[in-house]
Structure 1
Amino acid sequence: MNTRVLVTGATGFVAGHVIVELLEHGYAVRATVRDLADTKKRAHLVDYAARTGAELDFVAVDLTADDGWAQAVSGCAQVLHIASPFPATPPADEEGLIRTAVDGTLRVLRACAEEPGVGRVVVTSSIAAITHGHRESALRTEADWTVVERSPAYQRSKTLAERAAWEFVGALPAERDLELVVVNPGMVLGPLLSPDPSTSHEPVRRLLSGAVPGLPRVGWSVVDVRDLAAAHRLALERPQAAGKRFICAGEHLWMRDMARTLSEDFGPRGFRVPTRSLPDRLIRAAAVFDRGLRLTVPTLGQVERVSADRAIHELGWSMRPVRETLRDTADSLVRHGVVRAPRRAASGVGRAVRAEV
């Protein structure tokens, strides 16, 4: 029998790619969803497993309730806890966001600690738990932690949830040798597996669709979801990963650089990608009316500088070029109908998509 791994948040963007990565490498996967009756959101995973003969089943649990977690982890040798709230706009209930992230992580870990067969848990955190709230600019590593007192709600939620995970595992009795590994990704881009985009796709969607008149002075340290999925598998497999955090993110990419790349690649296909930068004061003014822009205001002008050296050297991990990630992200948004192709180029795009399939 193949090693069975529990993956939380099956219908999420990252979790979906992680499930495919595990199935491709011979793992049996049990994946959590909130509603077993909602089959549409997981149909692409069911189809993939059926086509490849992989072993995949689903269990209904909720991060806000204790019910079902013991049954979910039963029979699993390893657990990947990926599910976590990721708001598209500033949350109305900041404390609720933080509570869900922290309590959900602890529910998963408690269930794992009580299941003797579970030897390792990999928790998906974020560089949001590393890079924010510092007064000085520096290259950040796994030794750094976000300063929660000077950070927005989402960054606080990731930091406090990860700290709670380390504290919980550190307090377990010596005879319960549960291993914890944490993966800290940057801004996750890459192709969709279904027509349901992630919040992280929003900048690319807005650029391709011309939904912004110009570019805010924001940027991110980007990681391709396919590379991130590989990092999660390696975090399960490498013995030396136990008890460590792993940053998975590349160089900082300004939105203006993202726009130029997309303009070069998609301009010939009829997409009018804005490349003009806008002053911070205009972004702050526009954010009053655009809730999606409000998330960018606290990070205007900030640079995310992180080192992925530990993941590269200790996990044997690698990243593909960011231009490839951007191109594949944009192609995917068009292919899945998230962004409509320009009318005069639609027939050509359609032929290209059919050729890819």
Structure 2
Amino acid sequence: MKKETVLVTGGSGFLGVHTLLQLLQLGYTVRTTVRSLTKKESVIHALQEGGITDISTLSFYEADLTSDKGWKEAISGCDYVLHVASPFPASDPEDEMELIIPARDGALRVLKAAEQAGVKRVVLTSSFAAVGYSPKPDGHIFTEKDWTNPEDTKQAYIKSKTIAEKVAWDFIHTVGCEMELTVINPVGIFGPTLGGISSASIDVVIKGILNGAIKESPSFTMGVVDVRDVADLHIKAMLATEATGERFIAATDEIVSFYDVAQLIKQERPSLSTSIVDMQPTPGQFYKGISNQKAVTVLQWQPRGTKEALLSSVDSL
């Protein structure tokens, strides 16, 4: 048993539940917030599916990103906060503020409560959305030095993640608090589902391809990362002195299109290929370059490959 107490916000989400799993396996006292305590049983079920037999060191708190209620109680007495919770819609809402406000205000709400509670460090889950969605010359490799300009996109999710991360850094720099901040910027998160809890990436890409709903490869490509590696990177970032005040991209070395994913499933899981539509590769598709070298070199992070991340999603479904 470790003496430190860690709060994971959004424990009923895909990344949240995997992060809880690893922290419990490492022996931490763990707390998690859920929007409603009705989600508690599904989280426990997912953790048991992941191999956790003793949940006596895990406690649940009801707290919502849009309200102050519950945050003080959840964070009081914690050494670290992993702020994983953030809304991710299946489609962009008509009013972008539906996403921007909870992401931005939620990040500030958690940071303020953490600072008042004397938390050592907050690790914030941002997104590659806050890094790689402003125009760059062909061949540009995106790193943590890059930022998306919210004015360059009409997509509410991309704006919400960028604005929330900028607000978090502004808070740390202007308040002058002793609390430290580290940010993780994952690309599309795949990997094994636990207790039926999956990610938007899995729901859109993997399920869409497997059930034949995706009939052609969209023109964009995506980075891939395994949820187990994103959870591991959060914990490494929580503990490493070198992570203070830094952001880290979480991605494998490869970029893929929907066509690439469909071909991989056909080749490696042929029994599932009957419902997959015979889509064509998009001509002249531009593959974004994304570097994970900072996480690899500074935090000795060793992510699984793209193939394993994608196929473990398929197998768990």
**Residue in 2 that maps onto 1:255:** 258
Task: Report the alpha carbon displacement of residue 278 of structure 1 after superposing the two structures with TM.
Answer: 7.2
Tell me the CA shift for residue 161 of structure 1: 0.3
- 1:95 counterpart (94, 97, 101): 97
> Residues of 1 paired with 2:109 and 2:294: CA distance?
29
| Structure 2 residue matching 1:59: 3-state secondary structure | strand
Return closer, same or farther for 1:64/1:53 CA change in 2, 3 Å cut-off.
closer
Distance in 2, Cα, partners of 1:188 & 1:38: 22
Which SS does the other structure have where 1:171 is aligned?
helix
- TM-score, normalised via structure 1 length: 0.82
Could you say what secondary structure the match of 1:330 adopts?
helix
* Alignment partner, residue 200 of structure 1: 201
- Counterpart in 1 of 2:28? 27
**Which among 149, 155, 160 is matched to residue 157 of structure 1?**
160
TM-score normalized with structure 2 length: 0.92
Check if 1:170 corresponds to 2:173.
Answer: yes
The number of residues matched between the two structures is 311
Q: What does residue 340 of structure 1 align with?
A: none
* Structural mapping, 1:328-347, within 5 Å: 328-333=312-317
Moved more, 34-43 or 179-188: 34-43
Q: Deviations over 1:195-249 (max 9, x none)?
A: 1332111211111112223322332110000111110110011111000000111
CA shift for structure 1 position 277: 2.0
Verify the 8 A CA contact 2:134 2:147 in the aligned structure 1. Answer: no
Cα shift at 1:114: 0.5
- Identity across the alignment (%): 39
Distance 1:208 1:270 in 2: 8
CA distance in structure 1 between the partners assigned to 2:224 and 2:21 by the alignment: 21
Local SS of the residue matching 2:288: coil
Q: CA offsets per residue over residues 283-309 of structure 1, 9 Å max, x none?
A: xxxxxxxxxxxxxxxxx9553321111
Which structure is larger by alpha-carbon Rg, 1 or 2?
1
Residue 303 of structure 2 is aligned with which of 319, 324, 327? 319
Runs (4+) of structure 1 exceeding 6 A deviation are none
- The CA deviation at 1:54 is 5.6
Which of 201, 218, 237 is residue 220 of structure 2 equivalent to? 218
Instruction: Measure the CA separation in 1 of the matches of 2:42 and 2:66.
Output: 20
Structure 2 residue identity aligned to 1:316: Q
- What are the ranges of 5 or more consecutive residues in structure 1 without an aligned counterpart? 281-299, 334-357
Q: Give how far 1:189 is off.
A: 0.4
Which of 55-64 and 302-311 deviates more? 302-311
For residue 113 of structure 1, what is the aligned residue in structure 2?
A: 115
Which string of whole-angstrom CA distances, capped at 9 and with x for unpartnered residues, describes residues 29-86 of structure 1?
1000111134343232564686145611100011000112111111100000000011
Alignment of structure 1 residues 1-357 onto 2, 5 Å: 2-45=3-46, 47=48, 51-52=53-54, 55-116=57-118, 118-137=119-138, 138-151=140-153, 152-173=155-176, 176-201=177-202, 202-250=204-252, 251-269=254-272, 271-277=274-280, 301=285, 303-333=287-317
Structure 1 Cα separation of the partners of residues 167 and 179 of structure 2: 15
> Using the alignment, how far apart are the partners of 1:67 and 1:268 within structure 2?
49
List runs of 5+ in structure 2 lacking aligned partners.
none
Distance (whole Å) between structure 1 residues aligned to residue 200 and residue 123 of structure 2: 22
**Partners of 1:134 and 1:15 in 2: CA distance:** 31
**What value does the CA root-mean-square deviation take over the aligned residues?**
2.0
